């Protein structure tokens, strides 16, 4: 049988109207109908405004205000992973947004390995997708993979902390890492530039591969310029606010201080707009693509090679036999467990009986 | 002494407080600088003069505190240093032929810098404040408080005070249980209470000048507006300066000597008596082991 992929491709010009130029619209219609889905993770020490920024990004109160709890002697011992989902809509386009919060990161006296639960969570999502992908029935694929991870840097104005470097080094290769300078309204213009330069130096020195938005050659000059503007601002110096304040008579989203008002949506006040542009408006699909086509594939390849499979995922000619084997093993395990539990149960019943008998005799 | 994580403006505050560039920031200057593995103790001694009054000022900086991934026991070098000064003073005091005026290197005041998270105290802060307040006068300040709106600042302070009380941390000024002997005492007590109510001081430091209403003041020009360090609406720097320099400087020195040092001395001498009793040798007061 001739191999289709080896037939040379010939380019031809059209002589009349065909109609396939409408394909993008068809795709658009289908996508809008299907709806979009995005999974975002936020990482950073307590009090850097993570929840507020998420609320600001999506203009929705996804995170309620942190209640003031009573001071207590016991505190959590490990980093938690908390996910919330929200369905939001804009102009008829539906977005299912999943946000993963990581409370506890960087908050303990000893933060060694605080990156571990986070890395494990990201990898388990890859594992889950890998498992679903290998199933016989793939009708309902649920994609929980993390498309972007925003890392919050404290506005010290100096350099990255050892914990920042440790975390970013370990996670940059398995998730799209977007560093931001949190609460940047406390820094002056000069301090922000100096801080940004130093952060990028630190990142380069430690060879951390943060997310780099790509351009395409065919992009128009306007898009290219927009792209350049965005890239020049990384790491984004952000300010978040989910409430409105009065600024010279108009209501804006921002923060009101005795010495003035910061307007979150004003690009001369902070880089929030650029972050939102990149994350939501222009690069959301690209972030997803990069996760799916590069990060996930790298993880998948590594994992499968590590488990000894090199050519295809099914080493035998008959793909079904592998599942048969697995199912048999699983059933065996189940029946063994069942037998064990039965034995334990019977033993306990016997014990109880003998106890009752003993007390009756007395 | 100043204690707090890197980047909270400790050096800047000292330089603002004393209106002179006394200490440099100890932050790393290059990416290739290796991170500190432990808390360092760096002292600098300066002689300053105001209206004919001379002040010999020793500033102890503690770079590296709280900066590592694992900060267990990062406070130990600090506590050790404070105790060593008491130790050395005690030794000199016990010497038969002692100097008339012993060079007092004891730490009279520890400014503890809290990050302006707006939430609550970090576990590390609580542990360290407690340890330090057992040995010296600790005054907590909210660093870089220009990151908080007035409302956030109020809530944060309230929360911090609750936690300090909950964990039994005894801060300066210590509560005076003595009777009010006269009007002056009562006024003093009121003042002390006022200070206790203001603590932790929400501060902003700056060595740079900005122009406000035609006048040149020390401040910061941020994207929101111009912050004037000396403006009481903007931050509590003035309150802190008055408290530290104008009214309570002498009292802090006295409290260090009469309360903290005496506590240390008592503990040391008792421990000495016990160990001498066990060894069954004649007491030799020079050995503070």
* 3-state DSSP of B212-277: ECCEEEEEEEECCEEEECCCCCCCCHHHHHHHHHHHCHHHHHHHHHHHHHHHHHHHHHHHHHHHHH
Contact A161 B167 (CB under 8 A): no
The predicted model gives B114-139 an average pLDDT of: 94
Q: How confident is the model at residue B289 (pLDDT cuts 50, 70, 90)?
A: very low
> What's the distance, CA A70 to chain centroid?
32
Residues of B in contact with A48 (CB under 8 A): 117
Which residues 104-163 of A are in CB contact (within 8 Å) with B? 107-112, 114, 154-159, 161-163
pLDDT exceeds 80 at position B234: yes
Most A CBs within 10 A among B36, B69, B230, hence the mutation to make, goes to B69
**Is the four-CA dihedral A226, A231, A236, A240 of positive or negative sign?**
positive
Mean pLDDT check: name the lowest of A207-221, B51-65, B203-217.
Answer: A207-221
CA-to-CA distance for B69 and B37, rounded, in angstroms? 10
Contact A162 B25 (CB under 8 A): no
pLDDT higher at B26 or A124: A124
CA-to-CA distance for B285 and B289, rounded, in angstroms? 10
ipTM score above 0.90: no
- Among chain A residues, CA nearest to B166: A71
Residue with tokens 């959301």: A284
Q: For position A74, what pLDDT does the model report?
A: 67
Residues of B in contact with A201 (CB under 8 A): 30-31
Residue of B148, B25, B1, B10 whose CA lies nearest to B77:
B1
Label residue A320 exposed, middle or buried (CB < 10 Å: 0-12, 13-18, 19+): exposed
Query: Which of B27, B69, B72 has its CB closest to that of A158?
Result: B27
Query: Which of A107, A159, A189 has its CB closest to that of B27?
Result: A159
Residue of B100, B73, B106 whose CA lies nearest to B87:
B106
Most A CBs within 10 A among B121, B147, B209, B212, hence the mutation to make, goes to B147
Percent of chain B with pLDDT over 70: 94
Q: For position A315, what pLDDT does the model report?
A: 47
Mean pLDDT check: name the lowest of A57-71, A324-338, B155-169, B229-243.
Answer: A57-71
A270 and B CB contact within 8 Å? yes
pLDDT exceeds 80 at position B283: no
Q: How far is CA A146 from CA A81, A152, A174, A286, in A?
A: 13, 17, 9, 13
pLDDT tens, N- to C-terminus, chain A (362 residues):
678 888 888 888 888 888 888 888 888 888 888 888 999 999 999 999 999 999 999 888 887 766 556 677 666 778 899 998 988 888 888 889 999 999 989 999 999 989 999 999 999 999 999 999 988 888 888 899 999 999 999 999 999 999 999 999 999 999 999 999 999 999 999 999 999 999 999 999 999 999 988 877 677 888 888 888 888 899 999 999 988 999 888 999 999 999 999 999 999 999 999 999 888 888 898 999 999 999 999 999 998 888 876 555 554 445 566 667 778 888 888 888 888 889 888 889 988 888 888 888 76
Residues of A in contact with B6 (CB under 8 A): 156, 158, 161
Distance spanning both ends of chain B, measured CA to CA:
25
Please state the length of chain B.
289
pLDDT higher at B273 or A316: B273
Cβ–Cβ pairs < 8 A, chains A and B: 125
Q: For position A336, what pLDDT does the model report?
A: 87
Q: Do residues B205 and B182 touch, judged by C-beta distance below 8 A?
A: no
Q: Do residues B236 and B201 touch, judged by C-beta distance below 8 A?
A: yes
What stretch of H or E contains B278? Answer: helix B262-279
Taking each helix axis from N to C end, the angle separating A162-171 and A116-133, rounded to the nearest 10 degrees, works out to: 10
CA-to-CA distance for A323 and A313, rounded, in angstroms? 12
CB proximity list for B213: less than 8 A, separation 6 or greater: none
Which range has the top average pLDDT, A26-30, B6-10, B269-273?
B6-10
- How many Cβ atoms sit within 10 Å of the Cβ of residue B41? 18
Q: For position A56, what pLDDT does the model report?
A: 92
């Amino acid at each position: 049988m001739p191999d289709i992929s080896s037939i040379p491709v010939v380019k031809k010009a059209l002589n009349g109207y065909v109609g396939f130029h409408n394909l993008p619209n068809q795709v658009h219609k289908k996508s809008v109908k299907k709806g979009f889905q995005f999974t975002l993770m936020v990482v950073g020490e307590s009090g850097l405004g993570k929840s507020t920024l998420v609320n600001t990004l999506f203009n929705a109160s996804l995170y309620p205000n942190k209640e003031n709890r009573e001071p207590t002697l016991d505190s959590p011992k490990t980093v938690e992973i908390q996910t919330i989902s929200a369905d939001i809509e804009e102009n008829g386009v539906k977005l299912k947004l999943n946000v993963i919060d990581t409370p506890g990161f960087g908050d303990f006296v000893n933060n060694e390995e605080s990156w571990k639960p986070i890395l494990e969570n990201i990898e388990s999502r890859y594992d889950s997708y890998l498992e679903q992908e290998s199933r016989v029935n793939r009708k309902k694929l649920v994609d929980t993979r993390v498309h972007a991870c925003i890392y919050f840097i404290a506005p010290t104005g100096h350099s990255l902390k050892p914990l920042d470097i440790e975390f970013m080094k370990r996670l940059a290769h398995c998730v799209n890492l977007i560093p931001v300078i949190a609460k940047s309204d406390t820094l002056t213009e000069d301090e922000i530039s100096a801080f940004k330069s130093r952060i990028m130096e630190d990142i380069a020195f430690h060879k951390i591969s943060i997310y780099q938005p790509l351009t395409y050659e065919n992009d128009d000059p306007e898009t290219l310029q927009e792209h350049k503007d965005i890239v020049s601002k990384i790491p984004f110096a952000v300010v978040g606010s989910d409430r409105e304040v009065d600024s010279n008579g108009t209501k804006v989203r921002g923060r009101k201080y005795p010495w003035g008002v910061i307007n979150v949506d004003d690009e001369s006040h902070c880089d929030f707009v650029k972050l939102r542009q990149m994350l939501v408006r222009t690069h959301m699909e690209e972030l997803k693509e990069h996760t799916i086509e590069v990060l996930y594939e790298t993880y998948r390849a590594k994992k499968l090679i590590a488990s000894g499979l090199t050519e295809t995922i099914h080493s035998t000619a008959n793909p079904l036999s592998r599942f048969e084997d697995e199912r048999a093993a699983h059933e065996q395990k189940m029946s063994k467990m069942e037998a064990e539990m039965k034995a334990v149960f019977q033993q306990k019943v016997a014990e109880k009986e003998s106890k009752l008998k003993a007390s009756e005799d007395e | 002494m100043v204690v707090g994580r890197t980047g909270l403006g400790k050096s800047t505050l000292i330089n603002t407080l004393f209106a002179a560039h006394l200490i440099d920031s100890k932050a790393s200057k290059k990416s290739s600088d290796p991170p500190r593995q432990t808390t360092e103790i760096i002292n600098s001694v300066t002689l300053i003069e105001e209206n004919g009054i001379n002040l010999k000022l020793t500033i102890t900086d503690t770079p590296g505190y709280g900066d590592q991934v694992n900060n267990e026991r990062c406070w130990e070098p600090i506590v050790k240093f404070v105790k060593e000064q008491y130790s050395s003073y005690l030794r000199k005091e016990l010497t038969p032929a002692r100097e008339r005026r012993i060079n007092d290197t004891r730490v009279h005041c520890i400014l503890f810098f809290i990050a302006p998270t707006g939430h609550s105290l970090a576990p590390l802060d609580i542990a360290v404040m407690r340890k330090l307040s057992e040995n010296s006068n600790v005054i907590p300040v909210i660093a870089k408080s220009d990151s908080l709106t007035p409302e956030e600042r109020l809530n944060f302070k309230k929360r911090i005070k609750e936690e300090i009380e909950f964990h039994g941390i005894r801060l300066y000024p210590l509560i005076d249980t003595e009777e009010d002997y006269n009007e002056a005492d009562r006024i003093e007590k009121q003042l002390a209470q006022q200070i206790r109510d203001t603590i932790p001081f929400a501060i902003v430091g700056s060595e740079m000048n900005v122009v406000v209403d035609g006048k040149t003041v020390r401040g910061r020009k941020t994207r929101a507006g111009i912050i004037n360090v000396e403006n009481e609406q903007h931050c509590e720097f003035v309150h802190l300066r008055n408290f530290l320099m104008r009214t309570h400087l002498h009292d802090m020195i006295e409290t260090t000597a009469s309360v903290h040092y005496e506590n240390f001395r008592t503990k040391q001498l008792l421990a000495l008596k016990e160990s001498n009793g066990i060894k069954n040798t004649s007491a030799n007061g020079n050995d503070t082991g």
